Amino acid sequence: MGRDSAIWQLAVASAAEMAGERFVALAVDGAVNALVVGLDGPALRELAGMSRSARSEDVRDLLQKALTDAGVAHLSADEADLINLRARATHALLGWISVRELASWAYAAIGYEGIAAARNIVALDDELDMVESGVAKPFNPRPIIETFLADSRHLIDRFAATAIPATELADGSETPEWIPADPRVPPVSDWPAEGIVGRIGKGPAQGEYVLVDPVWEQQAGRGPIVGYTLELPRRQLFDADGNHVLDDGAYDDIRPQGEGGFVDLLTTSLDVEWSVDVAVVNQEWSNRR
C-alpha cells in the first residue's frame, strides 16, 4: 500500500465518524497501513494497536491525532459530507442502496445550503417526490449520479484517494485521468468472501499471482464490499516496459459501473487472468502464509 492509500483510509474513517457512522475498523486498518508504508507517530502507533471492535469513544479523539501524525489537516465538514456522499453514490450505482436512499440522505445531511457539488444529488429528493406524486415523468437518475462522481473528485484530491495515472500536458503539468474498466475483472457480486486471485500474464512477474482481499462496510464477511487491498507477489510491480504499476498492499474503493480502479489497472497493464474459484484462492492464501 502506498502512503496516499493509507491516508485515504484514515480520511474515510474520519468522515464516517463525523457522520455518526461505523468507523472504528476503518480507522484501525488505516493506522496499521500507515505504519506499514513508513508514516509514524504516537497516535498512529496507539490506534494501530487497538481492536477493530473497540468502543468508538476510545477511538474518536485518537483518529484525529493519527491524521495529524500522517501529516494531514483535519477534514472540514464539507469534505466529510463529500466523502460520505461519494460512498453512497457509488453504492447506489452498484445497487446496494436505492437512489431514493441516496437522495434522502443527501437532502437531510447536506441540504441545499451545503456544499455546492452535492446540489444535484440533493435535488434528486425533490425530483423523485414529483415523480411519485405524478407531477413529473419518471427519469433515469444514473447520469446525474455519474456526473456528480466525476465532477466532485478533484475536491478531495488532497487525500489522494487513488493513485490515478497521470498524462503529461504540453506545458509539462500533469492531469489525472480515469482508469478504464477492464471487462476481464470479475464483477464484485461474484467475489467469494476469500477474495479473488489472478495470474500475471506479462511483465517481470509473469506467471506469479496477485490476491484481491475484500474490505466490507461492516466487518469481515458482512455487508457490501466497499473496497479491497491488493496482495502482490513483489513489493512493487512493473509492466513489460519497466513502468511502475502498483505497490504491494495498495487499497482502492469499489468503483461505479464503467469506472475502473486499481484491479482494472493491474489487469490491463499486466494481462492478469482472474479466478473466483474458492479452492484456488485459498491455495494461494496458503502459499503466502
Q: How does pLDDT run across 85-98, given as a tens digit for each residue?
A: 988 887 787 777 89
Residue 261: pLDDT over 50? yes
| Helix ranges, the chain (H) | 3-18, 24-36, 42-48, 56-69, 77-94, 99-109, 119-132, 142-152, 262-270, 278-288
Residues 83 and 58 in one domain: no
Angle of helix 99-109 relative to helix 77-94, nearest 10 degrees, comes to 170
Q: Residue 116 falls within a domain, yes or no?
A: yes
Q: Do 50 and 87 sit in the same domain of this protein?
A: no
Same domain, 233 and 277: yes
Asked if residue 164 belongs to a domain, the reply is no
User: Mean per-residue pLDDT for 226-237?
Assistant: 86
Same domain membership, residue 84 and residue 47: no
**Residue 177 within any structural domain of the chain:** no
Extract the C-alpha cell encoding 205: 512477474
pLDDT at 161 over 60: no
Spatial CA neighbour of 193 closest among 228, 167, 165: 228
CB 51 within 8 A of CB 45: no
pLDDT at 4: 65
Q: What integer is the mean pLDDT of 76-88?
A: 88
- For the entire predicted model, the pTM comes to 0.57
Residue 173 lies in a domain: no
Is 22 a member of any domain? yes
Asked if residue 44 is part of any domain, the answer here is: yes
Q: Mean pLDDT in the chain?
A: 83
Residue 67's identity, in one-letter code, is L
Is position 233 within any domain? yes
Residues 213 and 260 in one domain: yes
Domain count for the chain, please give it: 3
Residues 118 and 34 occupy one common structural domain: no
Please check whether residues 134 and 209 belong to one and the same domain: no
- The verdict on residue 210 lying in a domain is yes
The pLDDT, as a whole number, for residue 175 is: 33
Q: Between residues 8 and 177, which one has the greater pLDDT? A: 8
Please tell me which residue, 223 or 179, carries the higher pLDDT value.
Answer: 179
Last residue of a domain, one of 69, 95, 113: 69
Q: Let me know whether 216 and 265 are in one domain.
A: yes
Domain of residue 196, residue span: 188-288
Judged by average pLDDT, the poorest of 22-31, 106-115, 124-133 is 22-31
Q: Inform me whether the pLDDT recorded for 134 exceeds 90.
A: yes
- Are residues 34 and 111 part of one domain? no
Whether 251 has a pLDDT exceeding 80, the answer reads no
In this model, does residue 155 exceed pLDDT 80? no
Using H for helix, E for strand and C for coil, what is the string for 212-250? EEEEECCECCECCEEEEEEECCCCEEECCCCCEEEECCC
Both 65 and 28 in one domain: the answer is yes
Tell me 110's DSSP state. Answer: T
pLDDT tier for residue 227 given thresholds of 50, 70 and 90: confident
Res. 178 pLDDT band, cuts 50 70 90: low
Return the C-alpha cell found at 227: 473496497
pLDDT, position 2: 55
Q: Clarify whether residues 62 and 8 are in a common domain.
A: yes
Residue ending a domain, choose from 112, 139, 159: 159
Same domain, 110 and 24: no
